[in-house]
Amino acid sequence: MGDYEFHYHWEWRLPAGPAQVWPLVADTNRFDHDTGLPAYEEDRTAEADLTNGRHRLRFRIYGVALEWDEEPFEWVAPYRFGVVRRYKPGLLQPIAQLRVRAELFPQPDGGTRLVYEVWAKPSNWLGYAAIPVQIGLISRWRFGAAFQEYGRLAAAARQFVDVPGRGVQFAPGGRERLAKISQSLQELGLDPALIDRLRQTISEADDMSLDRIRPYALADHWGVPRRDVLEVCLYATRLGLLDFQWDLLCPSCRSARDSVPELGEVGRTVHCHTCHIDYTANFAQSVELTFRPNPAIRPVPPYQEYCMSGPQSSPHIAVQQLLGPGDRREVLPLLEHGRYRLRTMGLPGGQLLQVLPDGEVERQLTAVPAGWQNVEYALAPQPKLLLENLTDAEQLFILERLAWSDDAVIAAEVTSLQRFRDLFAEEALRPGDQIVVGSLTVLFTDLVDSTRMYREIGDAPAFGLVMDHFDVLRAAIEAEDGAIVKTIGDAVMAVFRRPAAALRAILQAQAVLQAAEKRPLLLKAGLHHGPCIAVNLNSRFDYFGSTVNVASRLEKFASGSDVVVSTAVAEDPEVCDYVQAQNIRMEPFSQLLKGFDDQEFSLWRLMGGR
């Protein structure tokens, strides 16, 4: 049919700037759904023949089956993105190739001029007839309606979850169950305003928004404390309003490529069809707790993908560009402060970068067969980057933020919360599984002279005081987002995400116990911070490893009017600030620890304070 190509050029004015509209406009999965395209299927058998993020996809539309090889999306956030699709020949295949490019230009009034272009090459006479109708007329109207709606949402600081879904379907009796459970949540003393917002979201949001409810992202959007929203979701799950799932995030694209209903299934190997890699999710970083409505309230259909690998499927990637051998390309991204890495899918390692206010405004970054330079460059937030491919192979350049998003409720965090452990004690790993959960602060305590107390006042009164002391510890630990792992006699093991939280908790507990009216109690305590391993012990979470072993040996050096901490705790910046603010005295000392080959540890004794 020759090389004739239809070209369509459309423009829309949006009332918000590129950085505000980018998360909506560049969500190509949502856009394809909103503009009426069907969900696709992927031909996984073609993975071995495709490189650099290419995929073979197919769907059926208007009774016609279309199959194509999709090039990797290219983008420079938040200013442009595009993709090329090469269609397989067939009798009823109307199109040979489709190219799409969107560009966002900032305007003096703070808005955006969105330029959207489509190039479509017909493969036969059916294409010559269908392309002007489907793309030139129908798509133009649908695209414009979607982009204008996205612009209004961005200008009002709203998100997709705020848009009422069409044809919302409740399960039989679902509305009544929703009202009843909402009332039960209020009776538990949870924030009525948050309960109402969650109820409204479940009642009105569309299915795509409810497939993965992310509590911290919701809290940030609502402008309320993250922990409050998480607790409402946890209680709502316990009462049957929500179900939770553990999403296993790919370490490369960071998308949820599989989900499991129980922690016991987390250790499985997962295949990411976007990155063409197999991986086991990192418990400390890439196992995320998300929620969805219970089917007895509102059934949400299984998740479907409408577009693969668009910019918002990997929002941590600021730039993605495909360069052939010898190619050079200039890009001008808008970068957040922090550390980045430039890598390609065909070369090991990467080039480290750091974005700073006074960083370089221009920098050439070159991929060579020998690898990347062992130096970290400093870039300005809006740099001019010249990407160059000096290898003899095509390279997909990827510029990504190294820091993982902090709006995910990661498994290592939630399983160290007392509220989660109380509500879901049955959640545990499979017997025998061991998963590194990242760094935790481990607390061990022990009552001073508890044996003498039993002799002096009798078993029953002494036991009552021990139970009271557990209540005090529990309240102090929970107030600092920690969790009691287990009790051993009258001793306690607890974990926290941050050293300062653990220190505040134990100092509060000691103060309350020492001021008790019935009988003042002294509580010895030791703190250490470091990597831990989570295991399933008697169907409950427990933690093991050198960090736990060191922490368990520190409390014996305490007197009950102090806290013994390791150097890892004492040198934590937040701890240093807290110690100074509270006028706490720190006395260093050294001690041999049993089981560590007579290794001498530098320890600190913390005393006094306000």
Domain 6-160 coded CATH 3.30.530.20: yes
pLDDT at 432: 65
Phi, psi angle pair for 98, to nearest 5°: -130, 130
The tally of CA atoms less than 13 A away on the side-chain side of residue 133 is 7
Identical fold, 6-160 and 427-608:
no
Sign of CA dihedral 420, 421, 427, 428: positive
* pLDDT in the model for residue 377: 96
Using alpha carbons, select from 242, 310, 408, 405 the residue that is nearest to residue 85. Answer: 310
Q: DSSP of 164-200, one letter per residue?
A: BPTT--PPTTHHHHHHHHHHHHHHTT--HHHHHHHHH
Give yes or no for a contact between 589 and 601, defined as CB atoms under 8 angstroms apart: no
pLDDT at 2: 61
Q: Where are the domains positioned within the chain?
A: 6-160, 174-308, 315-401, 427-608
- Here the tokens at position 551 are 């922490």
CATH of domain 427-608: 3.30.70.1230
Query: In the chain, which residues have pLDDT < 50?
Result: none
Q: Of 65, 107, 422, whose CA–CA distance to 237 is shortest?
A: 422
Contacts of 456 (CB under 8 A, 6+ apart): 462
- The helix (H) or strand (E) run that includes residue 530 is strand 523-537
Q: How far apart are CA 309 and CA 448, in angstroms?
A: 59
Q: What is the pLDDT of residue 331?
A: 98
Distances in Å between the alpha carbon of 17 and those of 75, 336, 341, 379, 511?
17, 16, 26, 23, 53
CB within 8 Å of 84: residues ≥ 6 apart: 70, 71, 97, 98, 99, 100
Contact by Cβ (8 Å): 243, 294: yes
- The tens digit of pLDDT for each residue in 146-190 reads 999 999 999 999 999 999 988 899 998 889 999 999 999 999 999
- Which H or E run includes 133? helix 125-133
Host H or E run for residue 217:
helix 215-222
CB 53 within 8 A of CB 396: yes
Please state, in angstroms and as integers, the Cα–Cα distance from residue 91 to each residue in 65, 86, 99, 123, 126, following that order.
10, 16, 22, 9, 9
Strands (DSSP E) found in 417-475:
434-447
> Which own/partner contact pairs does 300-305 have at CB distance under 8 Å and 24+ positions apart?
300/207, 300/210, 300/211, 301/207, 303/211, 303/212, 304/39, 305/29, 305/39, 305/40
- As a whole number of angstroms, the distance between CA 297 and CA 336 comes to 40
Cβ contacts of 221 within 8 Å, gap of 6 or more: 159, 161
User: Residue 393 gets which letter from DSSP?
Assistant: S
Task: Give the number of residues written for the chain.
Answer: 610
Element (H, E) at 471: helix 459-479
